[in-house]
Structure 1
C-alpha cells in the first residue's frame, strides 16, 4: 500500500494541552546541544526521487543532511541500485544510510541481510493501522519480536514508526502501551514521529520518560499554527521551524531519554519539496537547545 493512501489523521481535543506541555515540560538541564548528524526520510521527496535518485541524494547532501532513511519505492529500498552500489554512491556524497521503512511481512530475511551487509542500523515498520481489537496489537507485537530476531541475526535492529492512532485511547487503553509492553527491548525499538504524537494530543517528552531508552529514532516535522484538530483532517504538517511545535525543549531532553537518530520528514508542501527540506535542514542544523 502506498503510504499516501493511509496517512489519514483523526483529531484530538487536547491540542492546546499537547502543545503547551511540549513547550513547558522540557526545560533544559543546561547542557546546550545541537543535532550532530541530521537525517531525512526519503519519503519527503516521494515525487522527485523516482525520477532522479542520484540527483536528489546529491542535493540532500548539499543541504547539510548526513544520514538517510529510505523507504520501499517501486524500485526497492535502494532505488534501482544494489545495496552495495547504493552505499558506494552514498559514501561518495558523505551520506550514510542508517535505516529504511519496509514491509516486514514480505521477503524480510533478504531485506535484513542486504541491510546488514552495508552496515545499516535499522529496518522499520512504517504503518500498522488502527486495529479492531486490543488483542490485535498484542499479535502485532509478537510479529515485531519475530522481525527483531531476524534483524538481530543480521547485525541490525527492528523498530516501529507510529502514527496518531496508537496514542489515542482505544477501549480504555493506549495501543502504544500494548506495543511497548509486549515487545522485547532486546529486539525491538521505536521511532517516535513527534508530529503524530502531538496530533493525538500527547506530550512526546512524557512518553520518552515513560519508556526511557525505547524510542531510539524520531521523525521531526512541524504542524501548522492555528489549525484545529479534526477527525479525518488533511495532513497539517509544514516546514520545520514555521509551525506550532516547539522542538527546543523536546530535543533538549530527548538524548538523555535514549534518542539517537533525528530524522526530518516532510509530508505536506508549501512550496517545492526540495525547497521545503532545504529550509528544514537550515533550521535544524542551526537549532541550539
Structure 2
C-alpha cells in the first residue's frame, strides 16, 4: 500500500433497460460537444504515422475548457535545442451558438494574429479555415480524431498543399490519482482490452478497478498477465469487485476455499483491496440474518488482512431499508470489525435510498476507505447531488480511494469517462 492518498475514479455503467439504451446507439451530435474531444493535455507523436511518443516530445499542447465548455484556451509549446519548451502559439477556440460553428482567434510568437471558422463534418473530422486580420485566407487546418486520445492535425496552404502534419496524443496528468472501474467501458474491454486501457491511461486515469474476476482470470487474462497489460498502459491494477455469497454463512470450508484462492489470485495481480456488495438484502427478514452477514464479512476481512489486502463493502440503495426497525447499513457499520471491514459508500445510491451521505461520514468517521461518486447522467450534469459539499468530508470519512460511476450515458462510453475525469480533476479535486 502506498502511503499517499489515492483518488480513484470509478466510472461504472449499469446496463439496465430502465435507464439505458444500447451503448452502440450513443453519439456526439452537437458541435459544442464534439469540440470537447480536443480538451486536455497533449504531446506530439514521434511521427504522424504512429502513436508512439518520445521521452521528450517535440511539441506540448494545453487545451483547457472555459465558459461552461463553450471554449478552449489553447497553448502550444515547442522544444528547442536545449530541451526547453517555448510558446509558439496561443489561441482561443470556441463554439458559437448563433452560427452553430467553431471559431478561433489567436497569434504566434511573431505577433501575427489570425481568426478561423469551421465545423465538424462528423464526430471524427473537423476543418477550420484561418484568415489574417485583413480577411485573406492563410491556412486550412484539418483535425482527424483516430479516437478520443489521438488526433492527427494537418495544415494546408491556399492551394491545398500540405504545410505540416502533427499527431497529438492525449497526456493528461495523473497527480490526483484518479482511477476507473472498468464496467464503464465493459463492451470496449471485451472487444479490445489493450487499446481501451491505453486510452484510459492517456485520459489521465492512474489505476483501474475490475468487476469481472471469474475462474481466476480477468477479461481472459491470468492475474499476472492482466497486471502487465494494465501497467503497460501507464496505470496500476489496484482494486477488484468480487462476488461470493454462500447460502450457509457458517460453512467455513466453502468460504475459505473460495476466498483463499481469490485472495491469492488478486495478490498475484498486485491489487490493494477487494470489494463486494449484497444483492440479497430485500430477502433479509431478521436481525439474526443481518448478524450472519456481519460475521461473514468479518471472516473475509480477516483473511484479507492476513494476506496484506483490504476488504471493502459496497452499498446500493437496499442498505437503507429496515429490518426489524433497524437500518441495514447502520447495522453493518456497527457490527463489523473496523480492523477487517472497510466501507465503500456509493453517494448516488445513498440519495436514491433517501439518506444524506454526509450524515454517515460524520456518524461513522474513518470507516469509509472509498467513495463511489455517481450522478443521474454524466458526472455533475444533473444538479441533483452536491458533490462539492460531499468532497469537503474526505478526511472525516477516511477516504483513500474516490470512485465515480456513470449510471446513464449521453455519449459514447469512452467519451463520457473522459468527461468524468475532467469533472473530478478540475471541479472536485482542487
The match for 2:378 is 239
- d(CA) in 1 for partners of 2:318 and 2:407? 17
The match for 2:209 is 69
The match for 2:361 is 208
Question: Scaled by the length of structure 1, what TM-score is found?
Answer: 0.79
The match for 2:352 is 199
Which of 281, 285, 289 does residue 425 from structure 2 map onto? 285
The match for 2:152 is none
The match for 1:166 is 319
Which of 238, 250, 257 does residue 390 from structure 2 map onto? 250
Q: Where is the helix percentage greater, Structure 1 or Structure 2?
A: 1
> Deviation at 1:117?
3.2
The match for 1:147 is 300
1:55 maps to 2:195: yes
2:180 and 2:209 in contact (8 A); partners too: yes
Tell me the SS of whatever aligns to 1:241.
coil
The match for 2:276 is 125
The match for 2:338 is 185
The match for 2:218 is 78
Gaps of at least 5 residues in structure 2 are 1-13, 20-173, 246-254
1:77 and 1:100 in contact (8 A); partners too: no
Larger Rg: 2
Gaps of at least 5 residues in structure 1 are 9-33, 224-237
- d(CA) in 2 for partners of 1:113 and 1:47? 27
Q: Where is the strand percentage greater, Structure 1 or Structure 2?
A: 2
Change (3 A) 1:35 1:280: farther
1:112 maps to 2:263: yes
> Deviation at 1:46?
2.2
Which of 357, 374, 379 does residue 221 from structure 1 map onto? 374
> Deviation at 1:221?
0.8
How big is each residue's C-alpha offset from its partner over 1:236-272, in whole Å with a ceiling of 9 and x where there is no partner? xx10011221211111212332011011222322221
Q: Larger deviation: 114-123 or 185-194?
A: 114-123
> Deviation at 1:129?
2.8
Aligned residues: 248
2:375 and 2:385 in contact (8 A); partners too: yes
> Deviation at 1:75?
7.4
> Deviation at 1:128?
3.5
Tell me the SS of whatever aligns to 1:80.
coil
Change (3 A) 1:221 1:141: same
1:87 maps to 2:227: yes
Change (3 A) 1:156 1:66: same
2:294 and 2:336 in contact (8 A); partners too: yes
- d(CA) in 1 for partners of 2:355 and 2:217? 31
Question: Scaled by the length of structure 2, what TM-score is found?
Answer: 0.54
1:266 maps to 2:399: no
> Deviation at 1:115?
1.5
Q: 1 or 2 for the larger relative contact order (CA 8 Å, sep ≥6)?
A: 1
1:195 and 1:221 in contact (8 A); partners too: yes
